[in-house]
Structure 1
Amino acid sequence: MPELLIYQASWQDCTYLGRLNKRLIEDEGHSNPMTEEQLAERMAGWIATNYSAYIMTANGEKVGYCVSRYDGDAIYIRQLYIDRDYRRHGYGKYLVNWLHQHAWQARKLRLEVLAWNERGRQFWRNIGFQEYCIVMERA
């Protein structure tokens, strides 16, 4: 396995985070119409307030990120994304496990997955998550 490093992102990383956030939106089929620039600005706002963002590198190359916040009794994982070229190498699992032990002090974790994102749902199941509730909406 390559050398994996994880560091807490700052405002200087927001362009990268916005670019990968746009890919996340595309890959999961989300309806969010924001541009990369708007997403980068949103990231800057998040990490300036109540969210933390972490970036993972493999042999010096950025491969993905996670955005989360403390949410009462749990850590809420807002976004986790491994770039397309780096998937299926265990990086997502490694990132979640590392953050669970080092950044989140082994607190309970909570997240949302789009109902039609079966690959995403299967990923989370494979690393120990269970479905807890179903959120429904009407336009």
Structure 2
Amino acid sequence: MQLKQVTPEDAQELAVYNRELIQEEGHRNPMNLRELTQRMESFLMDEWEAVYFIHDGQKVGYALYKFGTDAFDSRIQTVYLRQFLILYPFRKQGLGRKAFETLKQEVFKEARIHVEVLTHNERGVAFWKAMGFKMYSMHLHT
């Protein structure tokens, strides 16, 4: 698995991928492709970074993340992994695990990683638990 840095010029393609992620996880985000593109451009021009996952010369997914520091100990680097997607045709081949392991080793290194998963997204919850994540908190909504 190889990583390729994303630039703001890639925002429209990432917006298409983001729309797939929104649909797959059952998120209630109503944004259309134009709005998702604008939001992605804003992310990429701000503090956010993104990479494509490349396998056998093909883009198979992406990740969007932001580095920070722990709220209680500024010596601890953190990373918030906001979006992580393996495109539908490439799923069930172990590429999600390979992509995450590569991202962790090459980019995140020793940073404490935070992810959010919708509680009804059982596949997502199972994936992140298989990657070694444990439940830390739960957001409740009315």
- Shared fold by TM > 0.5? yes
* Superposition pairs of residues 98-137 of structure 1, within 5 angstroms: 98-137=102-141
Runs of at least 5 residues in structure 2 that lack an aligned partner in the other structure: 71-77
Runs of at least 5 residues in structure 1 that lack an aligned partner in the other structure: none
Extract structure 1 runs of 4+ deviating beyond 3 A: none
- The worse-fitting range, judged by mean Cα deviation, of 65-74 and 78-87 is 65-74
SS at match of 1:100: helix
Tell me, yes or no, if the aligned pair for 1:21 and 1:36 is still in contact at 8 Å.
no
Q: CA deviation at 1:10?
A: 0.3
The residue aligned with 1:27 is 24
Q: Which has the higher contact order (CA 8 A, sep 6+)?
A: 2
Aligned length: 135
SS at match of 1:103: helix
SS at match of 1:41: helix
Q: CA deviation at 1:97?
A: 1.4
Tell me, yes or no, if the aligned pair for 1:18 and 1:43 is still in contact at 8 Å.
yes
Tell me, yes or no, if the aligned pair for 2:8 and 2:41 is still in contact at 8 Å.
yes
Match of 2:82 among 78, 83, 90: 78
Tell me, yes or no, if the aligned pair for 2:2 and 2:102 is still in contact at 8 Å.
no
- Normalised by the length of structure 2, the TM-score is 0.90
How far apart, in 2, do the equivalents of 1:87 and 1:106 lie? 27
SS at match of 2:65: strand
SS at match of 2:108: coil
CA RMSD of aligned residues (A): 1.1
Identity of aligned residues (%): 32
Tell me the alpha carbon deviations over residues 49-68 of structure 1, each in whole angstroms, 9 at most, x when there is no partner: 11100101222211100000
The residue aligned with 2:75 is none
- Normalised by the length of structure 1, the TM-score is 0.92
